[in-house]
Homo-oligomer: A and B are copies of this chain.
């Protein structure tokens, strides 16, 4: 008699259950807003206890693949993950990688320059009034001398996100946002240490002007200028740190 061996399973039950359910979502058997069976029923189907089912569901909830509501019409439903949610998950993960030193500063700067150049070329073609309005607004904030360093940096992030938005390609936005967020702590360092806001604002104005007139070349030029400026400031900071260490 032939025996079909099941694969040896060492994964935890909760993880297996989570994978099974995740599978039925990703392969389309469960669509957005579909309702899952109740925890009780799932427990029976998988032949595990309810807390185990709950651990599995929490894994999925952590990736905002599902949402739960209490009550008779409640239950667990497949989530339609918004780009926002996915992006925020991605951002925390990326920030962690950065903080662990997986990416070096020059690498981040290079990637950011490359990606922003791609975005700005499309932006020069496709930018609409709303994005220009955001940029104008942020420049105004950045010009106020009363604005704190933290707020200045936050405004800077919003300005560059507006550039990504103006590309009107959500995939590029997605990639760009990640790099912008990843760069933020580093950018904070610069602003805090170097305190050269005027230059940055001047460059932002140049970018805005070029986009307003749909001049792709000038916009690319302005972006390149700013990135080279940032790079120089970072090199300075690096020199300073080395000097301090060796002293």
Contacts and interface: CB of A to CB of B under 8 A. Distances in A.
Interface of A: 14, 18, 22, 25-26, 28, 32, 51, 54-56, 58-63, 65, 80-81, 83, 86, 89-90, 92-97, 99-100, 102-103, 107-108, 110-112, 114-115, 118, 169-172, 174-175, 178-179, 182
21 contacts: A26-B96, A28-B99, A32-B100, A51-B51, A54-B55, A58-B58, A58-B59, A62-B63, A80-B100, A83-B97, A86-B97, A90-B93, A102-B170, A103-B171, A107-B170, A108-B171, A112-B171, A114-B118, A118-B118, A171-B182, A175-B179
A122 to B, nearest CB: 8
- Kindly report how many copies of this chain are found in the complex they form together: 2
A18 B100 CA distance: 20
Given A63-B92, A103-B171, A175-B179, 12 more contacts: A25-B96, A26-B96, A28-B99, A62-B62, A83-B102, A86-B96, A102-B170, A103-B170, A107-B170, A107-B171, A110-B172, A115-B115
A94 B170 CA distance: 12
Contacts of A97: 81, 83, 86
A80 to B, nearest CB: 6
Contacts of A178: 174-175
A26 B92 contact: yes
Nearest to A171: B111
A115 B175 contact: yes
Contacts of A32: 100
B169 A92 contact: no
Contact of A95 (B26, B170, B174): B26
B110 A96 contact: no
Contacts of A56: 58
Among A89, A102, A111, find the residue whose CB has the most chain B CB atoms closer than 10 A. Answer: A111
Contact of A175 (B62, B80, B111, B169): B111
